[in-house]
Amino acid sequence: MANSEPMDALLGHLRRHGRQPAGALPDALGISRATLARAVAAAPGVVRLGRTRATQYALARDIRGASRWPLYRLDPQAQVIPLGDLLALDRGEFAFVTAQPSDSLLHPPFEHGIFPDLPWFLDDLRPGGFLGRTFAHRMGEHLQLPVDLKLWDAAHVVTALLHGGSAQSGDLILGDAALARALHERDSPSDLVPLADRSTRYPQMALDVLQGEQPGSSPGGEQAKFTATLERDAGRRAVIVKFSVAEDSAAARRWADLLRCEALAGRVLDLHGLAAAQATLVETPGQVFLESRRFDRSADVLGRHGFVSLLAIATTFHGEASMPWWRLAGLLHADGWLDTESAQRLCRLYWFGALIANSDMHLGNAGLLLTDTLPLQLAPAYDMLPMWLRPGSQGQVTIRDYAVPIPSAGQINAWQWAATAALDFWEQAQGLDVTPEVRRFATTMQSGIGRILERFPRTPARLPS
């Protein structure tokens, strides 16, 4: 055999059959193990994965001139922790090669670090929603990415992450350039706002973001928003700000009402012992800003905490992109992601949302704090408000009746807890500076929930055994 023949045979075999266990290759190619080792060393783009008997060989895939990037964590103290390397493989696969075992990142079936697509723990970093679209518009041409996010494949996402905005969710950072940018941003945030200047700066930042000026790629969510780093004396904290538009319209007033309701929902949840993102209202004449303190950033040092949405977990591990949170809570508990108490909290949060007419309880609107060891903790509640009342796409602000949900099987306790908290919410909502229609809706909801709560007595009767 000529010298290059084993190498060509190896490349051809991997191209035809995909990633292969090392042990099977000598027989398949009709060569000795020593010849295989030489062929692997000589073959361009062949990567070795795993060790000893679990060793596999695969073809690397080139994405903009590279196929391997370091993955970092910026921890709560803002220390850089190298986690391992992400490798792009042939056939759309990715490998995460790490020396550190991680119960969560390598949760089965990915214990060998091989992923059919971009690893799930990077899902929440991909540009999405309102700010993602802004990013795609601004950076798309420069990075040669499709302007329409729906057309993005994994290679586009990797490219975006490598150039990622420092506002990204969670604590993971892909590649050296993104790390350098994140560290620079931490030292001198481009969205720095002195605490005392919020009411002058926020309206301008809102205007900028509506005109597509904010370069950050994350966080997601469809509503217009911007990020800010608030500074007072030596202290800093990162926030996400949603706002009503500065216009005299029924729709703008309704959004203002909804932001007030979101701030209230957080306070009520906290009072009832369920952590919610700390939210503050900043009001200017004609505009309301809801500033939500980022739970994936630490105060002052601006370190980070890991975050993963329920959506990323459910699509990856349960093959479903939508189901009620209480049902996912059961699955996450069974798989070891959540302990009993956190699973119960998630159920309570779901029913609270359902009872405050949050008609937008998709799996991207709740998440977990992503750490290496299981079980994970529930992230504080966010985006919790009566979305049922949102203005329609044409700006119409009618209020339709909302059917108060009754508990699903097995959910009576969580529902009762939530009904008590929701009664508080609707009662306090009547005291907010909101429009009379919303106040009336609050009254109707309060009595509706009260009536159903009477049907579900505190201690559910036991079924005869």
Ligand X SMILES: Nc1ncnc2c1ncn2[C@@H]1O[C@H](COP(=O)(O)OP(=O)(O)O)[C@@H](O)[C@H]1O
Residues that bind Mg ion (CB under 5 A): 221, 365, 383
Nearer to ligand X, 48 or 267 (CB): 267
Instruction: Please choose which of Mg ion, ligand X, none residue 358 contacts, taking the beta carbon within 5 to 8 angstroms, the exact cut-off set by kind.
Output: none
Angle, alpha carbons 88-90-96 (nearest 5°): 35
**3-state SS, one letter per residue, for 395-417:** CCCCCCCCCCCCCCCCCHHHHHH
| Residue 411 identity (one-letter amino acid) | Q
Sheet of 20-21, strands arranged across? 20-21, 56-59, 46-49
Is 360 labeled as catalytic in the residue annotation? yes
* Stretch binding ligand X (CB under 6 A), from 133-141, 219-227, 338-346, 350-358: 219-227
- Using CB under 6 A as the binding rule, the residues of this chain from 137 to 166 that contact ligand X are none
- Shortest approach of ligand X to residue 243 CB, angstroms? 11
Cα–Cα distance measured from residue 462 to residue 430, given in angstroms and rounded to the nearest whole number: 37
Q: Quick one: the chain helix, strand, coil %, rounded to 5?
A: 45, 20, 40
Cα–Cα distance measured from residue 335 to residue 319, given in angstroms and rounded to the nearest whole number: 14
Is 187 strand, coil or helix?
helix
* Stretch binding ligand X (CB under 6 A), from 17-25, 217-225, 397-405, 423-431: 217-225
Cα–Cα distance measured from residue 364 to residue 99, given in angstroms and rounded to the nearest whole number: 31
- Shortest approach of ligand X to residue 346 CB, angstroms? 16
413 binds ligand X (CB under 6 A): no
Nearer to Mg ion, 277 or 418 (CB): 277
Q: At what angle do helices 412-429 and 436-455 cross, to 10 degrees?
A: 150
Going residue by residue from 41 to 80, which x/- string records binding to ligand X, judged by CB under 6 A? ----------------------------------------
Instruction: Please choose which of Mg ion, ligand X, none residue 169 contacts, taking the beta carbon within 5 to 8 angstroms, the exact cut-off set by kind.
Output: ligand X
* Stretch binding ligand X (CB under 6 A), from 178-186, 215-223, 267-275, 338-346: 215-223
Task: Please select the residue that binds ligand X; options are 119, 220, 266, 407, rule is CB under 6 A.
Answer: 220
Cβ neighbors of 39 (< 8 A, separation 6 or more) are 6, 7, 9, 10, 31
Nearer to ligand X, 221 or 375 (CB): 221
Going residue by residue from 110 to 129, which x/- string records binding to ligand X, judged by CB under 6 A? -------------------x
Asked if residue 178 lies in contact with residue 164, where contact means CB atoms within 8 angstroms, the answer is: yes
Nearest to 217 by CA among 129, 311, 310, 119: 129
Task: Please select the residue that binds ligand X; options are 126, 163, 260, 294, rule is CB under 6 A.
Answer: 294
- Using CB under 6 A as the binding rule, the residues of this chain from 369 to 388 that contact ligand X are 382-383
Cβ neighbors of 277 (< 8 A, separation 6 or more) are 266, 292, 293, 294, 295, 380, 381, 382
CA distances from 269 to 382, 450, 453 (A): 11, 18, 18
* Stretch binding ligand X (CB under 6 A), from 68-76, 141-149, 213-221, 322-330: 213-221
Length of the chain: 465
Nearer to ligand X, 72 or 382 (CB): 382
Nearer to ligand X, 58 or 387 (CB): 387
411 binds ligand X (CB under 6 A): no
Cα–Cα distance measured from residue 381 to residue 348, given in angstroms and rounded to the nearest whole number: 11
227 binds ligand X (CB under 6 A): no
Instruction: Please choose which of Mg ion, ligand X, none residue 35 contacts, taking the beta carbon within 5 to 8 angstroms, the exact cut-off set by kind.
Output: none
Active-site hit among 103, 335, 339, 360 = 360
- Shortest approach of ligand X to residue 426 CB, angstroms? 21
Instruction: Please choose which of ligand X, Mg ion, none residue 223 contacts, taking the beta carbon within 5 to 8 angstroms, the exact cut-off set by kind.
Output: ligand X
Nearer to Mg ion, 266 or 407 (CB): 266
If residue 378 lies in a helix (H) or strand (E), which one and from where to where?
Answer: strand 377-378
292 binds ligand X (CB under 6 A): yes
If residue 328 lies in a helix (H) or strand (E), which one and from where to where?
Answer: helix 325-334
For 177-195, b where at least 16 C-beta lie within 10 A, e where not — what string? ebbebbeebbeebebebee
Using CB under 6 A, count the residues that bind ligand X: 18
- Summarize as ranges the residues that interact with ligand X (CB under 6 A): 129, 169, 219-223, 240, 277, 292-296, 364-365, 382-383
**Catalytic residue IDs:** 360
